[in-house]
Amino acid sequence: MPSLSLAIVLAVTLRVLDWRVEGAIVPVRLTRGQGISSSQVTTHGSCRFVTLTAERDDRDFWFARFSIGASRNLSILIDTGSTDLLLNPDVYRPSKSAIALSRPFSMRYGTVNSDGSGEETVRRDICSREGVSDHGRTQVNGTVFQDTVSLDNTDFSVPLQSLGVTTSISPGPRPPFPHDGLMGFFIPGSAFGEEVPNWFSSLCRQPSILDECRFGLALEPSTESAFLYLGGVEQSRYAGALSTAAMHERYVFGDVAVGGRIIHRDAAIMVDSGTTVSWGPIESVQQLFDAAGIRSIRRHNSTTLTTTLDGVYPCDTPPRLGFGFPSVSNALEARSSRLSVVSHASKVFDMLPAALAEHSDDQGNCTASIHGIDQEGDSWILGQG
Ligand SMILES: *[C@@H]1O[C@H](CO)[C@@H](O)[C@H](O)[C@H]1NC(C)=O
Ligand SMILES: *[C@@H]1O[C@H](CO)[C@@H](O)[C@H](O)[C@H]1NC(C)=O
Ligand SMILES: *[C@@H]1O[C@H](CO)[C@@H](O)[C@H](O)[C@H]1NC(C)=O
Ligand SMILES: *[C@@H]1O[C@H](CO)[C@@H](O)[C@H](O)[C@H]1NC(C)=O
């Protein structure tokens, strides 16, 4: 018994010391989903980027614990690809200081099953596409509140944070997000108004709470361990120089590479922890698969009018597919203009074979976790799976 309580005291002390001594960077351990089927919607300001994860388990998502209003210990998906805090129906209980804004919000999203089995994750930008049929689309409605939002086991608490509470989904009844809801870290562009700061930017505005307005994610699916770092760059989590790229609206520019050789320059890329697989423009992905010797399969869905491209390769000889950050041309520009925030050299990061294999069959064929789609414009979304 004494040794047990000592261990607990030590653990607690170490945990407190951890972030008192280092001060600047607070590590928050994330937990991984355990395999419940789920779906998910995310938005980007007036544009709606949407992910629907139909009948797919939540094992590829990472969650942190938040207390929101009078609801404690909620499990919230950490999403770098969207901006707002959104909660499932029946999760939120307002605190005494809550303000119910009279403004409702409404989102629509499309669903596509590219493999016909209902196990595909698809994201679509539906802000720029007028006249796309509403067939097969799902609608989520809700109301906006302001309330206190605190990250459990830290000092990080934001009063009067805007949050969206979903009240209805059609066709229902499945809740839109796995677990209790989703916390967007992407800046800018809230669905609650362009000037509305999200939780992390609200935190950054508090005097002397963070050394730097920066966060980082370190995900290690193989060890089931992941951390969210708030307040700076945790240098112990990477080797060599950090590659930094410039944001251009919602994207950074990167190069697409096969076997370390660049085949496509300056692709507009969004890096998104809330999407499990990766999506690119269908012709660029075709080019990538061809260059890598990956057999490709095109599928057209006549209901949603969407064409998708899947790639299949032998699991025992995975191709080397990678993305270079910043793009070579951005690095050259930064060097010639002596811009110090963007790296002056580009580095290609190859996908780990385990991350490239989305699933495998009995014959040793693997389906690539990169897919092409004809409805996403010219941009790529790199998921974290
Ligand atoms: C929060 O919820 C999880 C899952 O239900 C539980 O394991 C954990 O003990 C809870 N933590 C607190 C502080 O209540
Ligand atoms: C096409 O998409 C719809 C809507 O998501 C889906 O119900 C249907 O099964 C898909 N058809 C095929 C052939 O994948
Ligand atoms: C969402 O709101 C819109 C507009 O107010 C309404 O037409 C629609 O029926 C609502 N959808 C659901 C699922 O409640
Ligand atoms: C899948 O595996 C079978 C048996 O090894 C092989 O004949 C077939 O060509 C493979 N398909 C692909 C797309 O690699």
Q: Give the number of the ligand closest to the Cα of residue 295.
A: 4
| Residue 51 confidence (pLDDT) | 41
Helix, strand, coil percent content, the chain, rounded in steps of 5: 15, 45, 40
User: What are the φ/ψ torsions at residue 340 (nearest 5 degrees)?
Assistant: -90, -20
Atom of ligand 4 nearest to the CA of 365: 1
Nearest-angstrom CA–CA distance, 43 and 126: 10
| Residue 174 confidence (pLDDT) | 63
Q: Tokens for 177?
A: 């997000």
CA of 206 to the centre of ligand 3 (A): 37
Q: Could you tell me the CATH superfamily of domain 23-237?
A: Acid Proteases (2.40.70.10)
Evaluate: CB of 141 within 6 angstroms of ligand 3.
yes
Evaluate: CB of 314 within 6 angstroms of ligand 4.
yes
pLDDT-above-90 percentage for the chain: 44
The confidence band for 345, taking pLDDT boundaries of 50, 70 and 90, is: very high
User: Which of 76, 54, 78, 53 has the alpha carbon at shortest distance from 65?
Assistant: 76
CA of 106 to the centre of ligand 3 (A): 7
CA of 73 to the centre of ligand 1 (A): 6
- On the 0-12 / 13-18 / 19+ scale of CB atoms within 10 A, 223 is exposed
pLDDT single digits (tens) 50-102: 343 433 445 667 889 999 999 999 999 888 877 889 898 889 999 999 999 87
pLDDT single digits (tens) 302-342: 876 788 899 999 999 999 999 999 999 999 999 999 988 99
Query: Atom 4 (ligand 4): residue with closest C-alpha?
Result: 363
Nearest-angstrom CA–CA distance, 279 and 121: 9
pLDDT single digits (tens) 131-173: 333 444 456 678 899 999 999 999 999 999 999 998 877 665 5
Evaluate: CB of 106 within 6 angstroms of ligand 3.
yes
Q: Tokens for 186?
A: 């992407």
CA of 353 to the centre of ligand 4 (A): 18
The pTM for the full model equals: 0.78
Evaluate: CB of 315 within 6 angstroms of ligand 4.
no
- On the 0-12 / 13-18 / 19+ scale of CB atoms within 10 A, 211 is middle
| Residue 138 confidence (pLDDT) | 54
Q: Could you tell me the CATH superfamily of domain 239-385?
A: Acid Proteases (2.40.70.10)
Q: Which of the given ranges, 15-19, 189-193, 265-269, has the highest pLDDT on average?
A: 265-269
What is the arithmetic mean of pLDDT over 274-298? 92
Ligand 2 site-directed mutation target among 301, 305, 306, most atoms within 8 Å of CB: 301
Q: Tokens for 258?
A: 């096969």
* Residue 245 C-beta-side C-alpha neighbours within 13 Å: 26
CATH 2.40.70.10 domain position(s) in the chain? 23-237, 239-385
- Please provide the average confidence, as pLDDT, over all residues in the chain: 77
On the question of pLDDT at 44 being above 60, the answer is no
Q: Give the number of the ligand closest to the Cα of residue 303.
A: 2
Q: Which of the given ranges, 214-228, 234-248, 253-267, has the highest pLDDT on average?
A: 253-267
CA of 114 to the centre of ligand 1 (A): 37
